[in-house]
Structure 1
Amino acid sequence: MSGTRRGRALVVGGGFAGLVTARALAEHFDRVRVLDKDTLPDRAAHRPGTPQSRHPHALLARGAELLEDLFPGLREELTGHGAPVSDFGQFPMLYPTGWSPAVRTELVLQTFSRPLLEFLIRRRVQALPNVTFHTATEAEALLVHDSRVTGVVARPRSTGRPTAHEADLVVVADGRHSRLPTWLEKADHPPVRRLRVDGKLAYTSRLYQRPPDTDPGFQASLQATIAPTTPSGGTVIAIEDDRWLVCLFGAGGISAPTTPEGFDAYAATLDNPHVKQIVVECRPISAIHRYSGLGGHWNRYDRLSPPLRRLAVVGDALCALNPLYGHGMTVATQQALLLRDAITAHSLDQADGVYHRHAARTLLLPWLMTTSLDRGWSPEPAPLPARASRTALLHLLHRIPDHPGLYRKFLNVQHMVASPLTLLLPFPRRHRQGPRP
């Protein structure tokens, strides 16, 4: 690690976004403290603070590259724990207009559970000599002096007494249901502007045993929901320990039941045969879990007025995207590195503002991509840019089954390794050759 040391940094939240941020900040601070309200497990296990961990997660190609830079050898370590790997272009996706074509790309699809990924990253961050964790400790308020955040007040569960944690930089990474807006109110600060688009999405998931030494011909398969005509969908992904993770989607206020009979019946209504195959043929090995309230929102901390210096916000606490599109962890990793770069080039009193402006620019594309389609579930008229984006995306999805070249370019844009302008370039046409399965 190198660079000028900047004193003390404090990260509120020990989930994925907090961990990658702590790793990035450890290069520039003498001391980095991570606060989390849970007792963090010493193995790959679910915990109350991440209820979404029982549902599918994905790293886009760009996110996997950035994560590998922060944690060299992570991909190989995931593989060693049984996380399967294949070409993303071979991932069968069923759209209302047909199946995605099977194409070869340079985009790696590695599938795993959220607890495994988080555990492997957390173990590496905990090993850093200048990073310490304060667990079972809940942050309750900001410490503010002269429009500068100087720390947080947190309450350890062991004593129940509020304690001041002073810091030269505070990073809030406490997730989709961040309490930072409440803390701003307590500090008599004007509220942050929030953009919100709610597709009323719900996940309902269950684990199944995957028979060893069998090849069903797919590592993952998906049936997408598209507003307003297709509110039901689902996916199945192979994860470590010879398990399948089946997740049934419901959008527009619909959700799959959490009873075994209801779960099976919902899966049977899907047109994707792979999801139905796993539910029928494999043995369930977990309870059924539902996670709802997955609408997108973007807290515009880049426009906080008046600004609070030495405060940065990352991950879902900044912008929570519809998880169906898979941008969340990639965007969080981008933000950790943007914050590191801002601290490298600017003073701490300038770095947070520079970071938030850069983060806002990088959020424009994933926000537009994920919310344009979700607006189809709302009766309210969408702004002109969103309507134009929705029209373009629906037109593109309609053409994908017949155009492998276009699909390859679309995947590169979705994975944030190519500009959307590449979709305007010519591509060879090939007629559909029948159903993919």
Structure 2
Amino acid sequence: MTKHGHALVVGGGYAGLVTARALASLFDEVSVLDKDALPDRAAHRPGTPQSRHPHALLARGAELLEGLFPGLREELTGHGAPVSDFGHFPMLYPTGWSPTVRTGLVLQTFSRPLLEFLIRRRVQALSNVSFHAATEAEALLVQGSRVTGVVARSRSTGRTAAREADLVVVADGRHSRLPSWLEKADRPPARRLQVDGKLAYTSRLYRRPPGSDPGFQASLQATVAPTTPSGGTVIAIEDDRWLVCLFGAGGISAPTTPEGFDAYAATLANPHVQQVVAECRPIGAIHRYSGLGGHWNRYDRLAPPLRRLAVVGDALCALNPLYGHGMTVAARQALLLRNAITAHSLDGACGVYHRHAVRTLLLPWLMTTSLDRGWSPEPAPLSARAGRSVLLYLLRRIPRNPGLYGRFLNVQHMVASPLTLLLPFPQRQSHSHSQGQSQGRRP
């Protein structure tokens, strides 16, 4: 295979790393720029403030990551990341508890710093990939209708230099600076779709007694507009820790004082969250992360288009993280970009990629925003109203129908078509739901 020249990836977080890995087989050189100093261990860094809060990797995303990084799941397990069946993850909706079902969908829970460190270590080991830490991209280099690189500044020396490339991939996250770079280049902005459920996360770590078996690996109480603005989750992560995250939607949020955090947790109907907060020892500060509304920048509709510019991850579409689609979507986009470059010229590949990326976003965008629009008094489009009606109907039926719930999880995990939810399903309560109740899920 004839390789292309130089690909430059702006952003060394999760989306940038999976994209760099996907492109490494197609380019002689791949450069990754990140404004942070990158740690040599699993650690939080300023450029990923969301890393202190829970992250979910859906089954489809885990499968894609395993293809890019063979043995990653086993490596996570070796670092203490627990594993179970996702159907054994108790979720409390306003309509009741999720049933216990065996799905074959793997639930592996871990901290964001651990996942990112293990992936970054793999990418750093590739001979044709170089990392440029503490280096901040500040503008695009554009010639005619083609992007030819970026202007980047070293945060250690303050020096600015042009970095030329045959392909530029923007993966700088939810607060991407690409809109301002387009403005600097006298280019029209991309249309932005935006739905803000006014979600805030407030999280704290707790010590998990080694060897203990509380009967759950993770548990969640969902927020659903407009009646249920409070919720929370607890997940077991590596190093014998619990990560507790309290949700607030519709403009409310959990306090960041210890007393306020504990009091907010005590108001929830989920006994697992209450149990960990009341009985386990906190081992860290309380962190809040807000501004988690969804937005989708329609770079597929840039007019005129810019060749050799691709956008991935949250820089393209930031989804409400409560639903767990973001990392899976980013991995799919990295592979779509690789496939487009394999099948087309560099000048044409990014346009093809952006059109295909739209298809990966339609379902998660509809699922997340249809419910989030319930926090806004403004009338929703017909498609969003229809999506919301379907989702609320499913949530009403799920507690009493394990078969439907199993199918719903397969759709949510992006391993089955939504059409499977139209199949007939029995109306009666099954044994597996009764078993879930007998395990003491309800408060």
Equivalent residue, structure 1, for 2:295: 297
C-alpha displacement of 1:429: 3.1
Secondary structure at 1:213 match in 2: coil
| 1:311-363 deviation line (CA, Å, top 9, x unaligned) | 00000000000000000000000000000000000000000000000001111
Deviations along 1:366-385, whole A, 9 cap, x unmatched? 00001000000000000000
Count of residues in Structure 1 that have an aligned counterpart in Structure 2: 435
**Corresponding position of 1:337:** 335
CA contact (8 A) 1:89 1:104 kept: yes
Tell me how far 1:159 sits from its aligned partner.
1.8
Deviation at 1:102, TM superposition (A): 0.3
1:90-135 alpha-carbon deviations (Å, 9 max, x no partner): 0000000100000001100000000000000000000000000000
Which residue number in structure 1 is paired with residue 427 of structure 2? 429
> Equivalent residue of 2:116, what SS?
helix
Kindly report which structure 2 residues correspond to 1:3-402, keeping only aligned pairs within 5 A, or say none.
3-402=1-400
Structure 2 length normalisation: TM-score? 0.97
CA offset at residue 30 of structure 1?
A: 0.1
Q: CA RMSD in A?
A: 0.7
| Aligned partner of residue 280 in structure 1, secondary structure | helix
The SS at the match of 1:30 is strand
In structure 2, what residue type is equivalent to 1:77?
E
Question: How much has 1:428 moved relative to structure 2?
Answer: 2.7
| AA partner of residue 265 (structure 1) | A
Mapped contact 1:151–1:165 kept (Cα < 8 A): yes
CA contact 1:172–1:317 (8 Å) conserved in 2? yes
Tell me if the contact between 1:10 and 1:167 (Cα under 8 Å) persists in the aligned partners.
Answer: yes
8 Å contact kept, 1:93–1:222: yes
The list of structure 1 runs, each at least 4 consecutive aligned residues, that deviate by more than 3 angstroms after superposition, is: 432-436
Does the CA-based 8 Å contact 1:297-1:321 persist in structure 2? yes
5+ residue gaps, structure 2, are none
Whichever residue aligns with residue 233 of structure 1, its letter is G
* SS at 1:217 equivalent: coil
Matched residue SS, 2:57: coil
* AA aligned opposite 1:204: T
- For the 8 Å contact 1:404–1:429, the answer to whether it is kept is no
Quote the Cα distance in structure 2 between the aligned partners of 1:204 and 1:103. 30
The 3-state SS of whatever aligns with 2:137 is strand
2:174 aligned partner, one-letter code: R
The structural deviation recorded for 1:427 is 1.9
Tell me the distance in 2 between the aligned counterparts of 1:207 and 1:158. 33
Distance 2:107 2:236 in 1: 11
CA shift, 1:430, in A, is 3.0
CA distance in 2, matches of 1:47, 1:157: 15
Residue of structure 2 in register with 1:408 after alignment = 406
Q: Deviations over 1:10-29 (max 9, x none)?
A: 00000000000000000100
Whole-angstrom CA distance in 2 between matches of 1:73 and 1:429: 41
Partner of 2:17, secondary structure, is: helix
| AA at the equivalent of 2:76 | L
SS in 1 for 2:4: coil
Using the alignment, how far apart are the partners of 1:4 and 1:99 within structure 2? 54
3-state SS of the aligned residue for 2:259? helix
Q: Answer whether contact 1:404 1:430 (CA < 8 A) is retained.
A: no
Structure 2 residue matching 1:305: 3-state secondary structure: coil
Q: Give the Å deviation of 1:146.
A: 1.1
Q: State how far apart, in whole Å, the 1-side matches of 2:2 and 2:179 are.
A: 32
Q: Contact 1:405/1:429 (CA < 8 Å) preserved in 2? A: no
3-state DSSP of counterpart to 1:45: coil
Q: Distance in 2 between the 1:4 and 1:414 partners?
A: 38
For the Cα contact (< 8 Å) 1:194–1:299, is it kept in 2?
yes
Give the drift of 1:228: 0.0
Q: Deviations over 1:370-422 (max 9, x none)?
A: 10000000000000000000001001001000000000000000000000000
Q: CA deviation at 1:4?
A: 2.3
User: Which residue identity is paired with 1:306?
Assistant: P
Distance 1:69 1:428 in 2: 37
SS of the counterpart of 1:237?
A: strand
Does the 8 Å CA contact 1:413/1:420 hold for their aligned counterparts? yes
TM-superposed CA distance for 1:158, in Å, is 2.2
In structure 2, give the amino acid aligned to 1:210. R
- Inter-partner Cα distance in structure 2 for 1:189 and 1:160: 27
Question: Any idea what the Cα deviations from partners look like across 1:190-217, whole Å, max 9, x if unmatched?
Answer: 0110000000000000000000111000
2: CA distance, partners of 1:159 / 1:395: 57
